[in-house]
Amino acid sequence: MTYGVPVIDLRSDTVTRPSAAMRQAMATAEVGDDVLGDDPTVDELQRRTAALLGKEAAVFVPSGSMANQIALLLHCRHGDEVIVSQGAHMAFHEAGAAAAIAGVQLIAVGAGQDGTFRGADVVAAFKPESRLTPPTRLVCVENTHNRGGGTVWRRGDLQSVVEATRARGLALHLDGARLTNAAVACGSSPAELAASFDTVAFAFSKGLGAPVGSVIAGPRADMDRAARLRKMLGGGMRQSGILAAGALWALDHNMERIKDDHDNARRLAERLGEIPGLIVDLDQIRSNIVMADLSDALPSAAEVVGLLEKQGVRVLPFGPRRLRFVTHLDVDRAACEQAAARLAAVLSSAAARP
C-alpha cells in the first residue's frame, strides 16, 4: 500500500511474486549439487528448455545477463567486435560487462528506434580480420526488444540478418529473454524463432513469473564449455534445484497465459493514448511493453514517476520524456485501467499548475 492506495507495479515483468503452488513446488524439489552435475531438478529443467528451444543442451544460470556474457565468451576473443541493435540490453542494462568481462567491443546498428536491423546493416558494419580494426565475430539479436518497446522481429528482417551473418562466417546469438512473448505475438514456437541461432539466452523470471533464472542453450559441446564459464563467473549455485523447480512450474502453468499480458498491454496503451499530452504509438504494441512519451508541456519522466509513486503506480523512466509500462501475471485488466486513471489524474493536476 502507498498512501492507502493499492500498489500497481508496472516497472517490469520481473517484479512478479511466486504463487503458493510455485512456492510449494520449490519447497519440495529434489536437489543435489548442480556444480558437480547431480541436481536432478536442474537436469530436468535443462533438458526441457533445450527441447523447447530446439537445441541440443542448455545450462541453468542465475540471470539473462550471465547467459549473454557466457555467449560472448563462447563466440569471441578479447578485442573482437560484436554487432548489436540500437538500445540492446547488452549495451544498456548489463553494467558494461561486455567490455569488462568478455573484452569485446559492441557496435550498434539499425536506424530505427524499434531495436531491429537488416542484413544490409550487418554488411555495412562488418570488419574482416586486420591489424588495424577489431574483427567482427558475432551478431546478436534481441527478440522481443526491450528498449524498442517489446518489438517482435519481422520474419523478413530476421532472415536477411541470418543470411548476411552466415555469408561472412559469423556466429549468431539470440537474446531471447522474452522469447515466449515473441512466440505468442507472431504465432510461432520458441524453437522456430531460435532455429537460426547458434546460442540462445532464455529467461524464466520475466513473463513466465519464476523468481530467478535463465538458461543459455546451444550445441552440447558449447554447453559443456558454458558450464565451466558459469563457474568462472560465480554462477555455480549448488542445490539450485529449488530455483529450477520454480522455473519448471512456470513452464507447466504460465506459458499459455502470456497472451493475457499482451491483451492487457494493448488495453493499457489505448487508455494511455486518450490522456492529453501523452503520446502512444498503438502500432508498436506487439507484446507486453508499452512506451509512452510525455509532451513538452508536461513534467519530465522522472518527475512523473515520483508523482505516480505517491498514487500507488510504479513505472520506470526510459529517457527524459519516456515512460515504460510492463504488464505481467500480477497485474490484471482492472489494474491496468486503474493505473491509466491515476496517471490521467496526475498529469491533469501537473498541467494545471502555474
Contact 105, 137 (CB under 8 A): no
- Alpha-carbon distance 127 to 83, whole Å? 10
Residues of the chain with pLDDT > 70, as a percent, come to 98
What pLDDT is attached to residue 6?
84
* Residue 170 pLDDT: 98
Residue-level pLDDT at 1: 45
- Mean pLDDT of all residues belonging to the chain: 96
pLDDT band at 54 (very low <50, low <70, confident <90, very high): very high
Euclidean distance between CA atoms 262 and 242, whole angstroms: 29
Domains and CATH numbers, the chain: 8-15+257-352 (3.90.1150.10), 31-253 (3.40.640.10)
Q: How confident is the model at residue 62 (pLDDT cuts 50, 70, 90)?
A: very high
User: Cβ-count burial of 79 within 10 angstroms (0-12 exposed, 13-18 middle, 19+ buried)?
Assistant: exposed
- Residues above pLDDT 90, as percent of the chain: 96
Position 354 scores a pLDDT of: 57
Which residues partner with 107 through β-bridges?
Answer: 83
Mean pLDDT of 30-58: 97
Q: Look at residue 108 and tell me whether its pLDDT is greater than 80.
A: yes
pLDDT in tens, 274-301: 999 999 999 999 999 999 999 999 999 9
Give the mean model confidence (pLDDT) for residues 123-130: 96
Q: How confident is the model at residue 160 (pLDDT cuts 50, 70, 90)?
A: very high
Q: Angle of helix 241-253 relative to helix 40-53, nearest 10 degrees? A: 40
Distance (Å, whole) CA 297 – CA 300: 9
Task: Tell me which amino acid residue 151 is.
Answer: T
Determine contact, residues 157/186, Cβ cutoff 8 Å: no
Between CA 261 and CA 169 the distance in angstroms is 38
Report the pLDDT value the prediction gives residue 72, as an integer from 0 to 100.
98
- The span from the CA of 224 to the CA of 205, in Å, is 24
Task: Evaluate if residue 177 carries a pLDDT over 90.
Answer: yes
Tens-place pLDDT, residues 189-228: 999 999 999 999 999 999 999 999 999 999 999 999 999 9
Do 213 and 7 meet the contact criterion of CB atoms below 8 Å apart? no
- Pick from 175, 185, 181, 242: which is nearest to 214 by CA? 175
110, pLDDT greater than 80: yes
Task: Please name the helix (run of DSSP H) or strand (run of DSSP E) that holds residue 61, with its range, or none.
Answer: strand 57-61
pLDDT score recorded for residue 150 = 97
Q: What is the pTM of this model?
A: 0.95
State CA 89 to chain mean position distance.
Answer: 8
**Residues 19 and 232: beta-carbon distance below 8 Å:** no
For residue 187, give every residue at least 6 positions away whose Cβ sits within 8 Å of its Cβ, in sequence order, or none: none
CA proximity to 105, closest of 74, 129, 72? 72
Note whether 326 and 11 are within 8 A (CB). Answer: yes
Tell me the C-alpha distance between 182 and 155, whole Å.
Answer: 11
Largest CA distance in the chain: 66
Rounded Cα–Cα distance for residues 211 and 19 (Å): 10
The three three-digit cell numbers of residue 71, written as one number: 555467449
The three cell numbers locating residue 1: 500500500
**Rounded Cα distance, 21 and 37, in Å:** 27
Assigned C-alpha cell, 313:
503506480
| 64: pLDDT strictly greater than 60 | yes
Which range has the worst mean pLDDT, 112-121, 133-142, 225-234? 112-121
Give 115's pLDDT tier (boundaries 50, 70, 90). Answer: very high
Residues with Cβ within 8 Å of 232's Cβ and at least 6 positions away in sequence, in order, are: none
pLDDT mean over 89-93: 97
